[in-house]
């Protein structure tokens, strides 16, 4: 991983689903944490968090700022990020934020390390982590865009309940067990159902999640000419988000070259052997950091167009791993 400086790290939202995954990823990737500062809301202050065989006490944000961590990884929701990230940044702490709060702020970088980490500088004190469904898509699209130039993307997502949080997982499992006493986070049952509704509906008829994919893709790939239209769907799975992606290029391609480009790209694993029923699934992507791509085939209805199936663990590459990879880049390049 190269020569790292050793670091004091705060995890804001440490007791949540993504916060727990961040701690797991930091440990698994041997990030050089000299001191961990778990931060959560008032009701969790004083609780203990286990990390690498040690126990750490959860503190509030004021104590965390006073401890002067090098990096604070936020996963505590948009309103918390809007309120607290500037306070950490003002204290000279670099914030990597998992919420949607700063993603489309023109003064903030929206980073997927494989694509645009090179744009980061020491002055970037609040760095936005993209939406989970956007991250896995752009990881695959970016190397193809460099070669063939993308004109238009049509994406339909099949998103895990873990993207909503622990309460959604509880709802799914309760429904599966016939227990109707658990609080509902979705407007309808999720077990044995799909909901074409992620986040709130906007005036244009799209949901916020769909527009995130449209807007974030352009920003991360630094190209406003890429047209993206999305339909985002919640399904009763745990383990990862799946996407059917149709990509129209400006230039003609050969399928053999597509395989070669994706096979050589960082963070991508090709699983594409229809004869042996090998293709990406949430079941096999679960717990992994890579983005998996398969069902790669030419769209036979129009020229220069490709179909793909993309799967990644939304709590890992879609959130925790991407944030930790940003922290690794900052540490490796002396940017904190």
Which residues are the active-site residues? 132, 241
Task: Classify burial at 276, counting beta carbons within 10 Å of its beta carbon; exposed 0-12, middle 13-18, buried 19 or more.
Answer: exposed
Secondary structure in 3-state letters for the chain? CCCCCCEEEEEECCCCHHHHHHHHHHHHCCCCEEEEEEECCHHHCCCEEEECCEEEECECHHHHHHCCCCEEEECCCHHHHHHHHHHHHHCCCEEEECCCCCCCCCCCEECCHHHHHHHCCCCCCEEECCCHHHHHHHHHHHHHHHHHCEEEEEEEEEECHHHCCHHHHHHHHHHHCCCCCCCCCCCCCCCCCCECCCCCECCCCCEHHHHHHHHHHHHHCCCCCCEEEEEEEECCCCCCEEEEEEEEECCCCCHHHHHHHHHHCCCEEECCEHHHCECCCHHHHCCCCCEEEEEEEECCCCCCEEEEEEEECCCHHHHHHHHHHHHHHHHHCCCC
The answer to whether the CB of 75 falls within 8 A of the CB of 12 is yes
**Cα→Cα distances 52→3, 31, 172, Å:** 21, 11, 31
The answer to whether the CB of 147 falls within 8 A of the CB of 257 is yes
């Amino acid at each position: 991983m190269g020569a790292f400086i050793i670091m004091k790290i705060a995890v804001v939202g440490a007791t949540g689903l993504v916060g727990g995954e961040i701690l797991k990823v930091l440990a698994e990737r041997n990030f050089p944490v000299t001191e961990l500062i778990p931060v959560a809301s008032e009701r969790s202050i004083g609780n203990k968090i286990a990390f690498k065989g040690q126990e750490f006490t959860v503190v509030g944000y004021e104590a965390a700022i006073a401890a002067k961590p090098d990096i604070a990884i936020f996963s505590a929701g948009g309103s918390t990020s809007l309120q607290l990230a500037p306070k950490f940044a003002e204290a000279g702490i670099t914030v990597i934020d998992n919420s949607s709060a700063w993603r489309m702020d023109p003064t903030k970088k929206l980073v997927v390390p494989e694509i645009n980490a090179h744009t980061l500088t020491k002055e970037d004190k609040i760095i936005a982590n993209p939406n989970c469904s956007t991250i896995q898509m752009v990881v695959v699209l970016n190397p193809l865009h460099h070669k063939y130039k993308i004109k238009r993307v049509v994406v339909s997502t099949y998103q895990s309940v873990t993207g909503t949080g622990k309460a959604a997982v509880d709802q799914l499992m309760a429904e599966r067990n016939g227990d109707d006493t658990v609080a509902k986070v979705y407007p309808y049952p999720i077990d044995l159902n799909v909901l074409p509704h992620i986040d709130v509906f906007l005036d244009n008829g799209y949901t916020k999640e769909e527009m995130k994919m449209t807007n974030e893709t352009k920003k991360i790939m630094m190209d406003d000419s890429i047209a993206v239209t999305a339909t985002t769907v919640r399904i009763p799975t745990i383990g990862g988000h799946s996407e059917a992606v149709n990509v129209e290029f400006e230039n003609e391609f050969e399928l053999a070259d597509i395989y070669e480009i994706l096979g050589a790209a960082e963070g991508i694993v090709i699983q594409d052997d229809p004869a042996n029923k090998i293709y990406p699934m949430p079941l096999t992507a679960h717990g992994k950091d890579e983005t998996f791509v398969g069902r790669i085939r030419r769209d036979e209805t129009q020229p220069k167009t490709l179909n793909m199936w993309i799967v990644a663990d939304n709590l890992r590459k879609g959130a925790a791993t991407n944030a930790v990879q940003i922290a690794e880049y900052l540490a490796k390049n002396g940017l904190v």
